[in-house]
Amino acid sequence: MSTDRESRPRFSDVTVAMLGESKLIFIAGQVAEDTALDVTGQTLEILAFIEGLLARAGARREHIVSAHIYLASAEDYVAMNSVWSAWVAPGPAPARATVSSMQTKNPYKVEIEVTAAFTPDRGSARNLNSNVTHREGDSLRDSARVLRLSPTSRFEEIEATLSQAARHLAWLMAK
């Protein structure tokens, strides 16, 4: 496994992990540059940033397998969700969590981070949900593994768990 990072002084905007021929693309939480925009405008701006970052890694929005969306106010959920729903690629939607948090004097109404996975020339990793079987008769959805980590997990446990998950994903994508 190898990694490539597009870094700033304190974090990477994008980290691409190569698993054989497959790519796992981790895009850090993106926020709007124009904080005067409403949640709809900020969401549109963020999704444009994400699309650009995916493109630089050779991916497209249909390769997104997971998204975490953070809202400053739960009241903005419907507006954000309508923009997200119009933007997300047709077909099986990525796994998504949306969280509302109260932050004092934060100009950002929304922050979005995504993970994408694909093998170049093989298409979308999200198609795995319908096309790949892990064991005879069991769909990937039925045989999905849950990563159980706690705040007290040691680094070695976390690294081993993530390494196992990466090997499993690479195996699935190679099928």
74 close to 46: Cβ distance less than 8 angstroms: no
Q: Classify residue 39: in a domain, yes or no.
A: yes
Q: How many domains does the chain have?
A: 1
Counts of helices then strands in the chain (DSSP H, E): 4, 9
Domain limits at 24? 2-126
63 close to 124: Cβ distance less than 8 angstroms: yes
Q: What is the largest CA-CA distance in the chain?
A: 53
Q: Classify residue 173: in a domain, yes or no.
A: no
Return d(Cα 95, Cα 119) in angstroms, integer.
Answer: 19
pLDDT per position in the chain (175 positions), as tens? 444 555 556 677 888 888 888 889 999 999 999 999 999 999 999 999 999 999 999 999 999 999 999 999 999 999 999 999 999 988 888 999 999 986 667 899 999 999 999 888 765 444 333 333 333 333 333 333 344 444 555 555 556 666 666 666 666 666 5
Q: Classify residue 142: in a domain, yes or no.
A: no
Q: What is the pTM of this model?
A: 0.68
Tell me the two tokens of residue 78.
């419907």
Q: Classify residue 134: in a domain, yes or no.
A: no
- What is the SS3 assignment for 153? coil
The CATH number of whichever domain residue 35 belongs to comes to: 3.30.1330.40
